Structure 1
C-alpha cells in the first residue's frame, strides 16, 4: 500500500515537472510572444510614468515662528515640486497684526531668488 502511494506521488511529481518545463518560454519567446493586449498595457504604463514625472507630487511643509515674541508656529513654508525639482515654494509669515504670503519659483531644486532657511528645509524635505 505504501509502495503504491509512493509510486503515485513520484508520477505526480514527474508530471508537474514536465508541465513546468513545457510552460517556460523557449528561445525567441520572451516579450515578443506576449499577447497584443499586454503590449498595449505596457505602452500605457510607460505613458503614465512619463506623465507622472511632471506631476507636482513632492510636498513638504515647514512650520515655524517667524518672530521671537510669537509662538504657535503660525508661519509656514510649503514646497510643491515634480520629480525634476521644478515647482514652487509658498511662504506665509504671520505677525501680530498682519500676514504676508510669498511665492518663489523653483527650477532644478534651486531658486534665482534668495531662499530663507525654512524654504530650503521645505525643498530638502520634498526631495525624494
Structure 2
C-alpha cells in the first residue's frame, strides 16, 4: 500500500512538472516561441552591449610608450614616443625629443597601423607595441 502511495505521488509530481513547463512555454515573455524566447529587456541589453562595443572600437585604447636617449651625450631616457590607437590602428604617434637646451614635440597621424610620413625606429616600435596581440 505504501509503495502505491509513493507511485501515485511521483506520477502527480511528474504531471505537475509537465503542466508547469507547458504553461511556462505559453506565457514566456519576449519574442519568439518556446522556452528559448528571451524577454524584451534582454534584447535591449544586447543592443546596448553591441553599441558599447562599437563605441569602444573607436576609442584610443591601444597605447605604448618607448623611452630612449635621442643624443649619445645625454642619459636618462628623457625622449619618448607615444602611440595612441584605436582597434583599427587609427590614431596618432606623439614624440618628444629632449636636448640639453630644448625639447621638441612632433605628432604624426596613423591610419590602419601605417603612417604617410616616415616614422623613426622608436615611433615604429611604439606603434608595434600598441598593436593587440593574438
TM-score by length of 1: 0.77
Name the residue aligned to 2:42: 38
Residue 64, structure 1, aligned to residue 68, structure 2:
yes
Higher relative CO (Cα under 8 Å, sequence separation at least 6) belongs to 1
User: Which of 85, 95, 100 is the matching residue for 1:81?
Assistant: 85
**SS of equivalent to 1:100:** strand
Cα distance change on mapping 1:84 and 1:68 into 2, 3 Å = same
How do 1:87-126 and structure 2 match up within 5 A?
A: 87-126=91-130
Cα distance in 1 between the residues matched to 2:121 and 2:73: 19
Residue 127, structure 1, aligned to residue 119, structure 2:
no
**SS of equivalent to 2:116:** coil
Cα distance in 2 between the residues matched to 1:100 and 1:62: 16
TM-score by length of 2: 0.73
Cα distance change on mapping 1:35 and 1:70 into 2, 3 Å = same
Q: Structure 2: which 5+ runs fail to align?
A: 1-9, 26-32
Shift of 1:122: 0.2
